[in-house]
Amino acid sequence: MNNSQYLDGIKKQFLYYKSLGEKTIDQLPQEKLFWQYNNDSNSIAVIVKHLWGNMMSRWTDFLTSDGEKEWRKRDAEFESDIRTKDELLSKWQEGWDCLFEALASINEANFNTPVYIRNIEHSITDAINRQLAHYSYHIGQIVFLGKMIAGTKWESLSIPKGKSKDYNQKRFSVPKHKAHYTDKLMDKTKDS
């Protein structure tokens, strides 16, 4: 796999996790985005705020400055001060825009540039993979909270329970081919 293929694939994975978060948020009324299991747990809004703070810090000047910016206030990311769904979605989008702009700035000429996070040198792939793992961890939390909150009204974001056989039958009904595993998963028709 060359660098371009890696970047294309990683962008699709980030888009996939972004879509899982958005599909979860879409299923919930505004007030449920602020629900906390207990005082020590985070609401969906707090998790989004933390993702936003991390993304803005890590991806701003990605190739030229440390990923832990001096202006970042990480502890404040866990304060529940987002008030509306619109505000939540604005922060969500701003963070993702910053990420995708940074990824778009990577090319063959700068692919071997070392990236620093808290003074620790990373290769570009290690820095990107680190963030993909971090974001998928928190988006999994968002999905889990959304599923708990929605209860029986939850619409599955992947293969619904009891439908694995149908899913596999459909996937194996077409010849082997090259594709990214997220291509069908992101389809709004859930034709996965």
Contact 51, 17 (CB under 8 A): no
Condensed to tens digits (0 to 9), the pLDDT of residues 166-182 reads: 888 888 888 888 887 77
**DSSP β-ladder status, 120-122 and 115-117:** antiparallel
Q: Provide mean pLDDT across the span 87-93.
A: 98
Condensed to tens digits (0 to 9), the pLDDT of residues 152-170 reads: 999 999 888 888 998 888 8
**Residues in contact with 90: Cβ distance below 8 Å, sequence separation at least 6, in sequence order:** none
Please give the span between the terminal C-alpha atoms of the chain, in angstroms, as a whole number.
Answer: 25
Query: Is residue 123 very low, low, confident or very high in pLDDT (cuts 50, 70, 90)?
Result: very high
Domains along the sequence of the chain with CATH: 3-153 (1.20.120.450), 158-192 (no CATH)
Contact 146, 24 (CB under 8 A): yes
pTM: 0.91
Give me the DSSP letters along 35-81. --SSTTS--HHHHHHHHHHHHHHHHTTTTTS-SS-TT--GGGGGS--
Query: Is residue 186 very low, low, confident or very high in pLDDT (cuts 50, 70, 90)?
Result: low
